[in-house]
Amino acid sequence: MKDQRDRFFHSVTIALNDIQLQTALDRGTTRGVNARIAAMGETTDAAALRHQARLARERALNRLPDLLEQLERNVIANGGHVLWARDAAELNAIVLDLCRKHDVRRVTKGKSMVTEESGLNHALEAQGIEINESDLGEYIIQLAGETPSHIVFPMLHKTKEATAQLLHEKLGMPMTDRPEEMTRFVRRVMRQKYLEADMGISGVNFAIAETGTIATVENEGNNRLSTSAPRVYVAVMGIEKVIATWEDYAVLVQLLARSATGQRLSVYNNLISGPRRPDEPDGPEVFYLVIMDNGRSGILGTAYAESLACIRCGACLNACPVYQNIGGHAYGWVYPGPIGSIVSPLLLGPTNAPRLPYASSLCGACQAACPVEINIPDMLLMLRRDLVQAGDPTLGWRVGMRVWRQAMLSPTLYRAGGWLAALVTQMLAGGDGKIESLPPPLNAWTESRDFPPFARESFRERLKRRRRERHESHPA
């Protein structure tokens, strides 16, 4: 576990010192936050809409087994096939089997967090199957040999300058700093790959149980091409993606777009109900829906069940002051940001992500941004409690928390502690009133942050003094 802790601190230190990353994060998250606020501001009653979305997700999670069965029945009735994967390894094995069954050599894949979770690309490549990401950002990340750093904007950690350099080196693109030129260039390369692919794979934004329909949202048309041009289409989803009705879809899809990219609706809203029918000009010959659990059913029915309501919009990432500074890769797994700090320990086991529940200032910006009102701060606190109960904290931490508890319970100790802290920090402060460095072991804090000295006069003392002064100047 110490190893995991050290790895997190190491990643954070690298991220904080990476100027290119800091520039990209600043641009990307600021744009994301502003776009969401503007788009949500256009709705007549954003709070009511969010509440409706929350209820839609609750309705689904409360009836998850029934809805999944209904979804399966309707997908089969539409001419599709449904396959169940207990975990990531099973998901990869299923897709590999399908590749063999349909003699697939080339695959094109739309955005899918579930396949990031399972490492599907590596699993297929290891068996000699070529797989190409079809989302522009994901494709660039694949070219760079990296992993996505954001749920919605996978290359948020890259500046346009770094992207241009990469495309120049890998694909011979003439250097440009204009994103539209880069997009045009990459599109030509990618289009050929869609046409050559035998199988298209995509993630699922929502699966509508009442008709067995798969909904994906996107802005590039890549998913539509990936799911309709190849002869085999495989949609991959986690069990929590099912929703009950089209009414629920109508609420969720507009909130997803507004929260994720600040659009009223995404440019492409694809709705797929089975393979190509005899009277249809295009579409896949066969359609499979693979539904993966990978630990999600273990979360259902626990105090963390609401984390399954997440619609993967990424708004909490953009809003989080920690994510804004360290980016996605520092979190160490597929799901970064505030929701990742909950989902990763739950899916990987808390000892495999022991620092993530602490990677939050608990400011509540994530909860305020979340379109389905997920109470992220409370779950982070619960995870911290679980880690403490599991014996995670060091001796120093345990002793520190005991002392803190005693001080908080005793007004005398609290006052004495405040007086002592003011005395010591005022002594440590330089002529400019700032503390350059705290003594060990507290110096880790001042390596990358300020530590203002405690005020000489406490809030209570100040309040008393001001009341006294007011009373003296205006006696009753």
Q: Which residues contact 122 (CB under 8 A, 6 or more apart)?
A: none
Residue 348 CB, nearest approach to ligand SF4 (Å): 18
In this complex, which beta carbon is closest to ligand SF4, that of residue 190 or of residue 316? 316
Contact between 215 and ligand SF4 per CB under 6 A: no
H helix or E strand, kind and range, residue 217: strand 213-218
In this complex, which beta carbon is closest to ligand SF4, that of residue 113 or of residue 232? 113
Contact between 315 and ligand SF4 per CB under 6 A: yes
In this complex, which beta carbon is closest to ligand SF4, that of residue 202 or of residue 259? 259
Site for ligand SF4 (CB under 6 A): how many residues? 15
Residues 257-296, mask of contacts with ligand SF4 (x by CB under 6 A)? --x-------------------------------------
Stretch that binds ligand SF4, among 176-184, 288-296, 314-322, 430-438 (CB under 6 A): 314-322
Stretch that binds ligand SF4, among 182-190, 310-318, 356-364, 411-419 (CB under 6 A): 310-318
Contact between 141 and ligand SF4 per CB under 6 A: no
Stretch that binds ligand SF4, among 109-117, 235-243, 304-312, 428-436 (CB under 6 A): 304-312
Contact between 150 and ligand SF4 per CB under 6 A: no
Q: How far apart are CA 136 and CA 110, in angstroms?
A: 9
Residue choice 71, 208, 310, 353 for contact with ligand SF4 (CB under 6 A): 310
Contact between 311 and ligand SF4 per CB under 6 A: yes
Contact between 308 and ligand SF4 per CB under 6 A: no
Residue 133 CB, nearest approach to ligand SF4 (Å): 21
Q: Which residues contact 401 (CB under 8 A, 6 or more apart)?
A: 393
Cβ atoms of residues 187 and 201 within 8 Å: no
Cβ atoms of residues 214 and 207 within 8 Å: yes
Q: Which residues contact 453 (CB under 8 A, 6 or more apart)?
A: 422, 425, 426, 428, 429, 433, 434, 435
* Of residues 427-466, those binding ligand SF4 (CB under 6 A): none
In this complex, which beta carbon is closest to ligand SF4, that of residue 104 or of residue 156? 156
**Phi, psi at residue 61, to the nearest 5°?**
-70, -35
64-90 residues labelled b (16+ CB within 10 A) or e (exposed) = beebbebbbebbeebebbbbebeebeb
Residue at token pair 């993606």 = 241
Residue at token pair 């070529």 = 130
Residue at token pair 């779950």 = 379
Residue 135 φ/ψ region, left for φ over 0, alpha for ψ in the -120 to 50 degree band, beta for the rest? beta
Residue 140 CB, nearest approach to ligand SF4 (Å): 22
- Using DSSP's 3-state secondary structure scheme, residue 83 falls into strand
Residue 303 CB, nearest approach to ligand SF4 (Å): 16
Q: How far apart are CA 66 and CA 316, in angstroms?
A: 30
**CA-to-CA dists, residue 61 to 68, 98, 240, 340, 356, angstroms:** 10, 29, 7, 19, 25
The CB density around residue 382, as the number of other CB atoms within 10 Å, is: 16
Residue 39 CB, nearest approach to ligand SF4 (Å): 14
Contact between 33 and ligand SF4 per CB under 6 A: no
Residue 466 CB, nearest approach to ligand SF4 (Å): 42
Contact between 109 and ligand SF4 per CB under 6 A: no
* Of residues 353-382, those binding ligand SF4 (CB under 6 A): 369-372, 374
In this complex, which beta carbon is closest to ligand SF4, that of residue 60 or of residue 374? 374
- Is the bond preceding residue 441 a cis peptide, omega within 30 degrees? yes
Residue choice 314, 328, 350, 453 for contact with ligand SF4 (CB under 6 A): 314
Q: First vs last Cα of the chain: how many Å apart?
A: 64
Stretch that binds ligand SF4, among 85-93, 114-122, 311-319, 411-419 (CB under 6 A): 311-319
Q: How far apart are CA 238 and CA 147, in angstroms?
A: 20
Q: How far apart are CA 303 and CA 430, in angstroms?
A: 47
Residue 245 CB, nearest approach to ligand SF4 (Å): 19
Q: How far apart are CA 469 and CA 369, in angstroms?
A: 43
In this complex, which beta carbon is closest to ligand SF4, that of residue 382 or of residue 421? 382
Contact between 110 and ligand SF4 per CB under 6 A: no
* Contacting residues toward ligand SF4, per CB under 6 A: 151, 259, 310-316, 339, 369-372, 374
